[in-house]
Amino acid sequence: MPSSPPGPRRCRATSCWRSATRLFADPQYRARGNIAIVKDARVGEVALANVVPVLSATPGGIDSLGPPLGAHTDEILGGLLGLSADDLRALREKGVV
């Protein structure tokens, strides 16, 4: 019988669940592509739960961890909500954004 990854395993009458540590160490999860390794300039490589289900014609995937905090502040406050450049500057000086 193959050995299983370390970590607590809790069971009910109908199913078992594992800790995140145990899931990410499970070779079957990796082999099925359930773990995505994403490279990010801010934090390096990160292991994430991948997109499920994987569909043959449109398998999906994770391209990034998302934009950095505040990346769209000017676009939203200025473009969408109509704040002027002076308004945005004032908010930054006050530490609001």
**Tell me: the pLDDT tens digits for 43-79?**
999 999 899 888 889 988 998 999 999 999 999 999 9
Give the pLDDT confidence score for residue 1 in this predicted structure: 42
Using a cut of 0.85, tell me whether the model's pTM lies above it. no
Residue 22: closest CA among 4, 34, 40, 38: 4
Give the pLDDT confidence score for residue 51 in this predicted structure: 92
Q: Tokens standing for 97?
A: 């954004």
Rounded Cα–Cα distance for residues 79 and 61 (Å): 30
